[in-house]
């Protein structure tokens, strides 16, 4: 992939871009093998971006600044210097294309970028998510205050009229003068509050604060692989921890007669239940609860298989202890942080044996990658 921003050292976020794509995959495989030297034989073939890497990201997180009277989108480097970046080749083309229209609309409606030095202005960040399967955009404007909210509402009406791809627009209020991406208050400015994603026969919904994988093509391959693993096993009950909007749960339903998803975000569970109704998934039950609290309360329930898809920090000792107490026959662990995955599997290996490890290249040309680990109880 050719990127002028990388070649001119303007943006070095893609730390593996000096290698060709297949070489970057080899580096990731070597990293996984280094952490699991005794399980190299358990490493399955990596799932890579066979459709190409350009346009593979469905998300963009862009800082906003004013340069010589012009609005620009980009990022702040380690020295907190703003750098323009409006043509990232990894972003879905729709994301890059809408930036010009947004500049015009922000100027017309007099919504000024926030100035870090002067501590003035309103718009701090622009967060964009695109669903390729339904051609829908979700735009989140991170504002310093509600001062420009009325103007942003008018901008939203114009933007939706000009570009029907824009499905959801929100204002996120982040008043603190710190490098914090978003605040706690989210104001939906459109009739719709979520966009839809089609994954095989399942429709999933994503709201402004819902977690969703950054690469839809790789995400689908990950969900399909879980389903493939389940198809070879005799599993009746399946527990999906950190279930988000329910993707793993829906793909598990085909081979499991009882599926339960647990997630601390009430908004995510609301979207999961909406998808449950539309997909006709009567055998799935979603609940809003902290994972650790839920596990602590499970005294009599038993599950044949448990899926965990935690944040980058991984699992804590208490959660691992509860998982081993519940003693499911199979554990599936999806992780975007191979370091914490390795740490947690070392703990789990007192009771479980590793069956397989597989890389899913969710983040092309970046050192991070998604890994699916399958474990079973020791015999």
Domain boundaries, the chain: 21-52+215-377, 59-195
Question: How far apart (Å, rounded) are the C-alpha atoms in residues 131 and 108?
Answer: 27
Residue in the structure block whose two tokens are 């009229």? 161
| pLDDT by residue, tens only, the chain of 379 residues | 889 999 988 999 999 999 999 999 999 999 999 999 999 999 999 999 988 899 999 999 999 999 888 999 999 988 888 999 999 999 999 999 999 999 999 999 999 999 988 889 999 999 999 999 999 999 999 999 999 999 999 999 999 999 999 999 999 999 988 777 899 999 999 999 999 999 999 999 999 999 899 999 999 999 999 999 999 999 999 999 999 999 999 999 999 999 999 999 999 999 999 999 999 999 999 999 999 999 999 987 889 999 999 999 999 999 999 999 999 999 999 999 999 999 999 999 999 999 999 999 999 999 999 999 999 999 8
Residue 160, SS3 per DSSP: helix
Residue 31, SS3 per DSSP: helix
Residue in the structure block whose two tokens are 């695109």? 130
What distances in angstroms separate CA 235 from CA 200, 304, 306, one per listed residue?
A: 22, 6, 10
Q: Check for a shared fold between 21-52+215-377 and 59-195.
A: no
* Closest of 100, 185, 63 to residue 170, by C-alpha: 185
Give the strands of the sheet with 370-377, arranged side by side. Answer: 284-288, 258-263, 237-241, 305-308, 330-335, 370-377, 352-360
Burial environment of residue 322 by CB neighbours within 10 A (0 to 12, 13 to 18, 19 or more): middle
Would you please indicate which residues are annotated as catalytic (active-site) residues?
336
* Closest of 295, 298, 286, 287 to residue 315, by C-alpha: 295
304 Cβ contact list (under 8 Å, min separation 6): 234, 235, 236, 237, 238, 256, 328, 329, 330
Residue in the structure block whose two tokens are 């990731």? 28
Question: How far apart (Å, rounded) are the C-alpha atoms in residues 229 and 225?
Answer: 6
Question: What fold does the segment set 21-52+215-377 form as a domain?
Answer: Rossmann fold (3.40.50)
CATH classification code of 59-195:
2.40.50.1070
How much is the pLDDT for 118? 87
How much is the pLDDT for 154? 97
Question: How far apart (Å, rounded) are the C-alpha atoms in residues 82 and 224?
Answer: 40
């Amino acid at each position: 992939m050719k990127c002028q921003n990388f070649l001119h050292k303007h943006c070095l976020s893609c730390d593996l871009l000096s290698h060709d794509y297949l070489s970057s995959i080899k580096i990731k495989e070597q990293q996984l093998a280094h952490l699991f030297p005794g399980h190299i034989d358990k490493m399955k073939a990596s799932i890579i971006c066979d459709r190409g890497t350009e346009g593979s990201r469905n998300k963009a997180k862009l800082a906003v600044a004013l340069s010589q009277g012009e609005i620009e989108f980009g990022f702040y480097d380690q020295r907190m210097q703003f750098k323009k970046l409006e043509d990232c080749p990894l972003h879905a083309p729709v994301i890059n294309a809408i930036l010009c229209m947004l500049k015009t609309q922000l100027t017309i409606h007099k919504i000024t970028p926030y100035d870090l030095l002067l501590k003035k202005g309103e718009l701090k960040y622009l967060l964009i998510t695109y669903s390729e399967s339904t051609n829908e955009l979700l735009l989140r404007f991170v504002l310093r205050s509600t001062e420009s909210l009325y103007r942003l509402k008018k901008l939203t009406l114009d933007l939706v009229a000009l570009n029907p791809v824009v499905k959801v627009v929100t204002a996120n209020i982040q008043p603190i003068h710190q490098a914090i991406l978003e605040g706690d208050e989210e104001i939906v400015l459109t009739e719709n509050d979520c966009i839809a994603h089609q994954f095989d026969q399942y429709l999933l919904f994503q709201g402004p604060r819902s977690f969703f994988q950054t690469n839809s093509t790789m995400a689908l391959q990950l969900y399909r692989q879980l389903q493939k693993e389940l198809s070879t096993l005799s599993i009746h009950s399946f527990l999906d921890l950190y279930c988000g909007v329910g993707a793993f749960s829906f793909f598990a339903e085909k081979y499991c007669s009882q599926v339960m998803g647990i997630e601390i975000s009430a908004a995510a569970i609301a979207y999961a239940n909406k998808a449950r109704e539309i997909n006709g998934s009567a055998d799935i039950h979603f609940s809003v609860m902290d994972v650790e609290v839920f596990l602590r309360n499970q005294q009599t329930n038993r599950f044949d298989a448990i899926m965990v898809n935690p944040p980058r920090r991984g699992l804590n000792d208490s959660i691992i202890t509860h998982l081993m107490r519940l003693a499911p026959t199979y554990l599936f662990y999806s992780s975007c942080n191979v370091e914490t995955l390795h740490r947690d599997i070392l703990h789990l290996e007192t009771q479980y044996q590793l069956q397989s490890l597989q890389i899913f290249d969710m983040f092309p040309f970046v050192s991070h990658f998604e890994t699916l680990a399958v474990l079973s109880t020791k015999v």
